């Protein structure tokens, strides 16, 4: 099955990350997650994403 696109979700709250991941995967997207900006940047450097969802209020 072909995916609609690649999305990265960066959020420090596990529940938010997993909720977004489940909803987006259920809609046909490939989803990667990161718990902090450092890990998110590492993901961006190693993969191509069509969209990044970023929590702007992280520690």
What is the CATH number for 24?
3.40.50.2300
Does residue 45 form part of some domain? yes
Q: What's residue 1's pLDDT?
A: 66
Q: What's residue 30's pLDDT?
A: 98
User: What is this structure's pTM?
Assistant: 0.92
Classify residue 31 by burial, with Cβ atoms within 10 Å: 0-12, 13-18, 19+. buried
Does residue 59 form part of some domain? no
Does residue 1 form part of some domain? no
Domain encompassing residue 27 = 6-54
Does residue 35 form part of some domain? yes
Q: For the chain (length 59 residues), average pLDDT per consecutive 10?
A: 92 98 98 98 98 92
Question: Domain count of the chain?
Answer: 1
Does residue 12 form part of some domain? yes
Does residue 20 form part of some domain? yes
């Amino acid at each position: 099955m072909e995916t609609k696109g690649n999305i990265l979700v960066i959020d420090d709250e596990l529940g938010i990350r997993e909720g977004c991941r489940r909803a987006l995967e259920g809609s046909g997207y490939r989803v990667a997650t990161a718990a902090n900006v450092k890990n998110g940047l590492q993901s961006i450097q190693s993969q191509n994403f069509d969209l990044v969802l970023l929590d702007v209020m992280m520690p």
